[in-house]
Amino acid sequence: MFNAPAYAQSEASEAARAFPNKTITLLVNGGPGSLPDIFARPLADNLRQSLGQTVVVDNRPGAGGMVAMQQLKDAKADGHTLAIITNAHVVWNPYVFPHLTYSPSADLKPVSPIAILPMALVVNPQLGVHSVPELVAKAKAEPGKLNYASSGNGSPPHVLFEVWRNQAGLEVEHIPFKTGPDALTSTVAGDTQVYFAGTALVEAMVRDNKLKVLAVSPCVNSRTFAAAPTMEQAGFPGYESAVWLGVVAPADTPDVVVNTLNTAIAKALANPRFASIMQANGSIPLHESASDFAHRIDHERQTWGPQIERIGIRPN
C-alpha cells in the first residue's frame, strides 16, 4: 500500500518509454476536405516525423462530433488514439445535445490547441444582399423564409450563427449537413442561402464570386477578405466568433504521454512548411501546454454555457 505512488510513477515512466510503439490514429469529425481535415493531414505528417511512427487520419463525421468522440472514449488510453476537436466538442456540445454520449470533462484529456480559425459570414450572390444590415433587413421582411447551412448540429457554424441570429432577432431556418464541404456545396448551389464558416473553407468560392462575403471575425489575414467588415463593424458589438482547433486524448492517458504529444505538436507548429499551410488557409497557429489548454476550455465553458442555455440552442 505504501509503495502505490512509487508503483504509479514507475508505470507512468514505462508508458513514456514505450510510447509510441504502434500506429497512431488521429480521429477527425469531418470528411476529407473539411476544415479539421485540412489541418489534420499535415499535422499527422509532422507527428510521424517527430515520433517515428505512422500516423493515420480517420475521418468520422456526424452527430455533432459524437461519432468521433465515442470512438476516442472507447479507445485504449495510451496516446495511440487522438482526436482533432473544436470548441464545439468540449465547450458547446453539453449545452446543445440533451443526450450527449460522452462527457468532455470526464472522457477527454486536453493535449494541445493547434490553431485559431477566422470565420466568415457568406451568402449566395443570388440572394441579392451586399452587407450584414441588408441581410438582417431581408430576413426580417421575410421571417422564416431564409435558411442557413451548417456542418452539423452543434458545429461552430450552427452555434455561432444561432448566437448571432438571436442577437439580431431573426427567424432563419437551420439546415444541418454532415460535413462542411456538403454545406458549402449547398450554399454555392443556392439550396441554402447563408453560411457562417471558416475562411479557409469558403475562400476559393469567395475569390471566384460564387459566394459573397458580408463580414469576418477580427483575426483574418487574407486579401480575399480584406475589404470585409468585422461583425462588430457591421453593427454587432461584442459578438465573439473565434473558433479554435485542438487535440485531445482519452481521459486516462498518462501525463507523460500527453506531454510527449504536446512537445511533438509544438515542433509541428514551428515547422515553416506547416506554418505556410496555416497561413495559406488564413489561420493562426496556437500552442499551449496541456494544462493551459485545459484552463482555456474550462474558462470557455463558464463563458459560453450560460449564453447557450439562455438561447436554448438544440439540434434540429
Look at residue 7 in the predicted model and tell me its pLDDT. 46
Per-residue pLDDT of 165-189, as tens digits, reads 999 999 999 999 988 889 999 999 9
Rounded to an integer, the average pLDDT of 72-92 is 94
Q: What is the pTM of this model?
A: 0.82
Instruction: Return the minimum-mean-pLDDT range out of 40-49, 175-184, 256-265, 306-315.
Output: 306-315
Query: Taking the CA of residue 51 as centre, how many other CA atoms within 13 Å lie in the half-sphere pointing to its CB?
Result: 33
Q: Is the pLDDT score of 248 beyond 60?
A: yes
133-143 residue pLDDT tens: 999 999 999 99
- pLDDT for the residue 11: 57
SS3 111: strand
Mean pLDDT (whole number) for 265-289: 89
Euclidean distance between CA atoms 112 and 63, whole angstroms: 24
Q: What is the mean pLDDT of residues 88-95?
A: 90
Residue 184 makes CB contacts below 8 A (sequence gap 6+) with 149, 195, 197, 201, 202, 205
> Does pLDDT of 293 surpass 90?
yes
- Residue 15 pLDDT grade (very low, low, confident, very high; cuts 50, 70, 90): low
Query: Where would I find the beta strands (DSSP E) of 24-183?
Result: 24-28, 55-59, 81-86, 108-117, 119-123, 147-150, 173-176
Instruction: Report the alpha-carbon angle 112-83-66, nearest 5.
Output: 125
Over 80: is that where the pLDDT of 9 sits?
A: no
Rounded to the nearest 5°, which phi and psi values hold at 289?
Answer: -65, 160
Structure confidence by residue, pLDDT tens digits, 196-244: 998 888 999 999 999 999 999 877 777 888 889 999 999 998 887 778 9
